[in-house]
Amino acid sequence: ELIYGELKSTQAKVQDEASHRQSLEAEVLRLKRSKTDNCVEESKTLCGMVRSGSGLGSEAFMHKSGNLKETLASQRGTISKIFEEVGLPNVLALLKSEELEVQIHAVKVVANLAAEDINQEKIVEEGGLDALLSLLETSENTTIHRATAGAIANLAMNVSNQALIMNKGGARLLANIASKTDDPQTMRMVAGAIANLCGNEKWHAMLKQDGGIKALLGMFQTGHTDVIAQIARGLANFAKCESRVISQGHKKGRSLLIEDGVLSWIMANSTMFPPSTRRHIELAFCHLAQNVENSRDIIITGGIKELLRISKESSRDDARNLAKKALNSNPAFLKEIQ
């Protein structure tokens, strides 16, 4: 109450734009004294990340976010109040603050706002995406990287935003962060953002060219379960979308994923992880197997044995059915089985 009163008193004395900006920074700093903490903010961000266009969300993350439902609801009110009092343009302006702590709190507010569909268009219209990408490129702070990647992951749930992110070099910037961070939570956010972009076939070639697929595989070395879950989700998103356009006759040729070594990664890791992650890996492999242009690569890497295993042992009906379809419809596979 006292802090709020002092802030209002200070704002009343503002005479020029510089002083006004300082008061806004003070407002954001009040976040430190709210009940909003990193865990809640990141969990909320993950609520957004799992709602990808392909429908291949992480069951584990959805379960975690469900357990925090009541807490998130209370925190949403705090964020909304600050948003209403300060206004989105002013919050976005704070992303350029010279004070690191102000930047951190501002980007966390934006990340939380971006988790709500209703706010995403406003954030982009007011230049929020440009500001986030600029932060991702220029900041050296791990917390900034983590929160910014989370905000971009949420914005990447929207098809029109995916186009903007890709055309503005977002995949390249995310891949760059992945290559230089050793923080698992930052990798989780980066992998989640790339996974959402994988759900749009229109950008697959650019995503590969900008290092997005290699970045996903590179983050596997962290060994962090949640990071690997997002990697698997991204590969499944990519393979599913690619398989669909190939089956519709809109595309031909060997899979872009195979060119980046994804098939070898899948064969080495298909049975190593928890069920939800394993399901994504199996689905990615089965979708790759639908493309006859991938037949030789699948046979050489021992993929027939893996397809047979999935067709009999997978816990998911969709994976078993896809494996059976690939085996029964591909003459090269049938020849190997015989």
Alpha-carbon gap, residue 315 to 4, rounded angstroms: 55
101 lies in a domain? no
Give the dihedral sign, CA 278/284/286/288: negative
Q: Any idea what DSSP says for residue 204? A: H
Task: Residue 278: count other Cβ atoms within 10 Å of its Cβ.
Answer: 20
String of DSSP letters for 110-123: HHHHHTSHHHHHHH
Asked whether the beta carbons of 188 and 228 are under 8 A apart, the reply is: no
pTM of the predicted protein model:
0.79
Q: How many structural domains is the chain composed of?
A: 1
Q: What 8-state DSSP symbol labels residue 289? A: H
Residue 301 in domain = yes
Q: Domain for residue 198, yes or no?
A: no
Instruction: Quote the CA–CA distance of 232 and 84 in Å, as a whole number.
Output: 38
Place of tokens 């690191």: 100
Residue 322 within a domain: yes
Q: d(Cα 156, Cα 120) in Å, to the nearest integer?
A: 10
Is residue 305 domain-resident?
yes
CB 291 within 8 A of CB 246: yes
Domain that holds residue 304: 217-337
Print pLDDT tens along the chain (338 aa). Answer: 666 666 666 666 555 555 666 666 666 665 544 533 333 333 334 434 434 333 333 333 334 445 555 555 555 555 556 555 667 888 899 898 889 998 998 999 899 899 888 889 999 999 999 999 999 999 999 999 999 999 999 999 999 999 999 999 999 999 999 999 999 999 999 999 999 999 999 999 999 999 999 999 999 988 899 999 999 999 999 999 999 999 888 888 999 999 888 998 998 887 888 888 999 999 999 999 999 999 999 999 999 999 999 999 998 899 999 999 999 999 999 999 88
Assigned domain for 88 exists: no
The whole-angstrom separation of Cα 45 and Cα 148 is 10
Query: Residue 252 falls within a domain, yes or no?
Result: yes
Q: Is residue 62 part of a domain?
A: no
Contact call for residues 178 and 215 (beta carbons, < 8 A): yes
Number of helices and strands in the chain (H, E): 23, 0
Burial annotation 44-75 (CB, 10 A radius, 16+ → b, else e): bbbbbbbebbbebbbebbeeebeebeeebeeb
Query: Which is nearest to 135 in space by CA: 177, 84, 179?
Result: 177
